[in-house]
């Protein structure tokens, strides 16, 4: 039986990596409850990054699901033991454990994020076996963020397209071609880490306006789109996401 979830209608999911609410923006998240509940009253989605570093009990995922509306969506970063430790090879048991734990999110579990180490070059055989294994277990969205130049090539794009995996559009851009989506024709995934200072820098009004235009074009073309701000170290992510949401609405 598949552990995946039904594909949502084409929407734009704007959010941040984690649901921290810096003091400077807390007035935009009124009401009672934990940060996640307040966050989910404003944003339609969030990216869970803690799953990259450690496993979580199903009861934790269930609590997160119960803190959010039915339409809210989660993207989960798969464990670094899979991507960085074993480097995608022989990871079936670890993936099964991760999917079993996170199943408690229910229909909110929408996308899996695979972030590769900068040293991991494309090995079509290993990558193909890994993606085939994931697709046997998961029918929902998959986004892959490579950081080695070999993944920004025509063969890599064809491999990702074969398994309906979206190559992440990351900022800062890692290699030529990385500024545009590739792979899946039905999914685009943006991860904005902040530039020029990664994880710290805020994005200016011009950048966000141009980004909003791109996301509207994806939505108009029936492409489900995620846009996650990961410039969280200085608290800029929430403010940038709020402004982008305003521009889209």
CATH number of the domain residue 134 falls in: 3.20.20.410
In a domain, 72, yes or no: yes
In a domain, 126, yes or no: yes
In a domain, 4, yes or no: no
Neighbouring residues of 57: CB distance < 8 A, sequence distance ≥ 6: 101
Parallel, antiparallel or unpaired: strands 182-183 and 166-167: antiparallel
Contact 59/93 with Cβ under 8 angstroms? no
What is the pLDDT at residue 7?
Answer: 40
Q: What is the CB neighbour count within 10 angstroms for residue 180?
A: 11
Which token pair is 106?
Answer: 């229910």
In a domain, 5, yes or no: no
- Alpha carbons within 13 angstroms on the beta-carbon side of residue 182 total 21
In a domain, 99, yes or no: yes
Neighbouring residues of 150: CB distance < 8 A, sequence distance ≥ 6: 121, 122, 156
Please give the Cα distance from 194 to 109 (Å, whole number).
26
Q: Which domain holds residue 208?
A: 12-248
In a domain, 29, yes or no: yes
What is the pLDDT at residue 45?
Answer: 98
In a domain, 18, yes or no: yes
What is the pLDDT at residue 5?
Answer: 39
Q: Which regions in the chain score pLDDT beneath 70?
A: 1-10
What is the pLDDT at residue 3?
Answer: 40
pTM above 0.85, yes or no: yes
State how many domains the chain has: 1
What is the pLDDT at residue 9?
Answer: 53
In a domain, 2, yes or no: no
């Amino acid at each position: 039986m598949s552990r995946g979830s039904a594909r949502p209608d084409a929407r734009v999911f704007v959010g941040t990596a984690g649901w921290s609410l810096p003091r400077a923006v807390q007035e935009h998240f009124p009401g009672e409850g934990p940060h996640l509940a307040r966050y989910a009253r404003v944003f339609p989605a969030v990216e869970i990054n803690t799953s990259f570093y450690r496993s979580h009990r199903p009861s934790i995922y269930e609590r997160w699901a119960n803190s959010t509306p039915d339409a809210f969506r989660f993207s989960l970063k798969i464990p670094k033991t899979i991507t960085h430790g074993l480097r995608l090879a022989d990871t079936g048991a670890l993936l099964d454990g991760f999917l079993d734990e996170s199943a408690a999110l229910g229909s909110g579990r929408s996308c899996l994020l695979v972030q590769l180490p900068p040293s991991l070059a494309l090995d079509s055989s290993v990558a193909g076996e890994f993606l085939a294994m994931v697709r046997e277990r998961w029918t929902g969205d998959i986004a892959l963020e490579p950081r080695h130049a070999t993944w920004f090539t025509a063969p890599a794009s064809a491999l990702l397209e074969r398994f309906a995996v979206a190559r992440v559009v990351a900022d800062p851009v890692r290699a030529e071609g990385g500024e545009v989506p590739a792979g899946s024709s039905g999914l685009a995934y943006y991860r904005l880490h902040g530039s020029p200072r990664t994880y710290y820098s805020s994005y200016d009004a011009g950048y966000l306006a141009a980004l909003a235009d791109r996301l509207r074009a994806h939505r108009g073309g029936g492409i489900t789109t995620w846009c996650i701000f990961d410039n969280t170290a200085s608290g800029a992510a929430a403010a940038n996401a709020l402004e982008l949401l305003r521009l889209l609405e």
